[in-house]
Structure 1
Amino acid sequence: MPSYRVMLSVGSLRPGVRPDTLLPSAAASAAEHATVEANDIMMLRGEPQLVVRFTGTDDGFALGVGSAVESTIDRLAEVRGARVTRRDGGAWTLVGAV
């Protein structure tokens, strides 16, 4: 089964939201639909990125998981961008934006 990841660029938090709740919320949202393999926060061009890696049956399914995660995080923080990538050998291939 292919490995995918959803990557979300996040900005300002919504009022009352603690920063340490974002990544667990993203992983929990993905886990409602797929098996989560890993999750992490990284900096990309000075902007925080939530990364949740999961398995999926196909690209359409993975985009649906990505959309669910984006919707969850959008209630907690400003989402400046979200995309889903698929692991192809040693590289990550863009599946699409969500």
Structure 2
Amino acid sequence: MPSFRATLQITGLRPGHAPGEVMDLAVAVVASRHVVEANQLDIVGGVPRITVRFMVEASEYDAENHLARNAAASLRHGVETAATTGALRTFRRSAGKWLAL
């Protein structure tokens, strides 16, 4: 199964939500349709960024990319119930490198 990752900047928390909810929501949303391989939180240039790595069912190359983009969009939608967000990027693992979609 091909491996992808989605990265999303977190620019703030919505009232009544704890920081830990953000990653929990992100992983739950992606895991509802795909196998989640890993997740992490980084601080890049002073801005928190979450990363969720996941696999999609193997099929045709463009269809796999489409599924990954949809998963990333769903991730953002789910996270935005608890946080405000910035840049969203989706990557595909190919020949040992992460290539932007």
TM-score of the pair, normalised by structure 1: 0.92
Deviant stretches of 4+, over 3 Å: none
> How far 1:90 moved relative to its partner?
2.0
The aligned amino acid for 1:53 is R
Aligned to 2:29, the other structure's residue is in SS state helix
Q: Identity across aligned pairs (percent)?
A: 31
> How far 1:4 moved relative to its partner?
0.3
Task: Report the structure number with the largest CA radius of gyration.
Answer: 2
**Residue from 61, 67, 75 that aligns with 1:61:** 67
Q: Does 1:90 align with 2:99?
A: no
> How far 1:46 moved relative to its partner?
1.8
Q: Which residue of 2 aligns with 1:52?
A: 52
Counterpart CA distance in 2 for 1:51 and 1:8 is: 7
Residue-by-residue CA offset, 1:51-90 (whole Å, 9 max, x unaligned): 1000014100000111110000111111111111011122
TM-score of the pair, normalised by structure 2: 0.89
Aligned to 2:79, the other structure's residue is in SS state helix
Gap regions ≥5 residues in structure 1: none
Gap regions ≥5 residues in structure 2: 59-63
**Residue from 82, 85, 92 that aligns with 1:79:** 85
Residue-by-residue CA offset, 1:16-62 (whole Å, 9 max, x unaligned): 01001111110011001100000110112221111100001410000
Residues paired across the two proteins, number: 95
Counterpart CA distance in 1 for 2:94 and 2:79 is: 27
Q: Which residue of 2 aligns with 1:30?
A: 30
